[in-house]
Amino acid sequence: MDELNDYSGAYKPDLKWEDFSKEFLIKLMKSWQNAYLSLSAFWHEAVKERSGPQVADDCDLEVWQKVGENVVPRFAKVANIQLNTVLDSLKLTDMCPDSKMGTGLFEGEVEVIDDNHVIATTTKCRVLEALEKTDPARIDWFCKVMEPQIMQKYLNNPRIKVTPLKLPPRSSPDEIPCKFDIRLED
């Protein structure tokens, strides 16, 4: 059977992932990433409307930390990543649906000092750009409280310490959004 480049043909009751082309599966994964991130935004908005912004933010942090503790480790198993170094943990974060890979939400650079020490610089953050336009009061919570704690959980190694070197607010849109020192501690 030829690989499917879409699912426009007849219904297939015995359909398997292997039936699809790599190109189609990548497009589908990007669509799932969007759905995954949209779900979070819709959920936050619904809680905010019912219970207020602080309850929504508190719940948001709790949920994303649980994702880091309970969901992200599954990606390490699937990708056969042994979490011994900072670089291993960064490979793990690349496997997450809300990573920089494919989402278009984040762009950045990683300066590798050694296997257990990196400086990660975000050069573009669409989340920050949206907050700057629509909800500037939420920037401190999202960038200074929530993001460092979620990063810590997603790295899945309690010996890794995430230290913010630069966080919003920015003085201009040309300024980098954030920078973190990420290192394994003894």
- Fold (topology level) of 53-184: Muramoyl-pentapeptide Carboxypeptidase; domain 2 (3.30.1380)
Kindly state the percentage of the chain with pLDDT values over 90. 84
Q: Are strands 160-166 and 106-114 parallel, antiparallel or unpaired?
A: unpaired
C-alpha–C-alpha distance, residues 155 and 93, integer Å = 7
Q: What pLDDT band is residue 33 in, cutting at 50, 70 and 90? A: confident
Q: What is the pLDDT of residue 36?
A: 87
Report helix, strand or coil for 121. strand
Residue spans of the domains in the chain: they are 53-184
Q: What are the two backbone dihedrals, phi and then psi, of residue 105, each rounded to the nearest 5 degrees? A: -75, -40
Q: Which residues pair with 111 in a beta bridge?
A: 119
pTM reported for the whole predicted model: 0.88
Q: What pLDDT band is residue 1 in, cutting at 50, 70 and 90? A: low
